[in-house]
């Protein structure tokens, strides 16, 4: 009895994730171009020495590519961007703690 509930729950969870991921699939190309613009702007911030700006622009860049990794089932793309997103959140929080 418990095993049948576990399978049902897994099916519901998988369906929810598929619906959520596919909601923005039509905008994938626009999101990728947005990521390119964010990446270029972030690089300019790095060159200029604007650390906070670079981190603030890189975080949405990583989130876009995490989504694309999930959408296309590319685990390496997904996980490396998850790691970078966590590091950027840490860096942004540290920036405000140290500056404050």
Range of the domain at 62: 26-99
Work out the pLDDT band at 5, boundaries 50, 70, 90: low
Beta-sheet strands, E only, within 15-88: none
- Kindly tell me the sign of the dihedral angle through the C-alpha atoms of 29, 81, 44, 53: positive
**Tokens standing for 70?**
């999930």
**Global pTM exceeds 0.75:** no
The domain tally of the chain equals 1
N residues, the chain = 100
Residue 4 lies in a domain: no
CATH number at residue 79: 1.20.58
- In degrees, to the nearest 5, what angle opens at C-alpha 58 toward C-alphas 54 and 62? 170
Residues 6+ apart with CB under 8 A from 64: 31, 32, 34, 35, 38
Q: Is the pLDDT of residue 89 over 80?
A: yes
Residue 59 lies in a domain: yes
């Amino acid at each position: 009895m418990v095993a049948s509930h576990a399978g049902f729950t897994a099916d519901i969870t998988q369906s929810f994730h598929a619906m959520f991921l596919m909601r923005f699939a039509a905008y994938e190309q626009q999101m990728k171009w947005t990521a390119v613009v964010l990446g270029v702007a972030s690089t300019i911030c790095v060159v200029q020495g604007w650390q906070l700006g670079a981190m603030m622009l890189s975080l949405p860049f990583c989130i876009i590519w995490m989504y694309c990794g999930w959408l296309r089932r590319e685990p390496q793309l997904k996980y490396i961007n998850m790691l970078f997103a966590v590091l950027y959140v840490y860096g942004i929080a540290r920036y405000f703690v140290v500056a404050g």
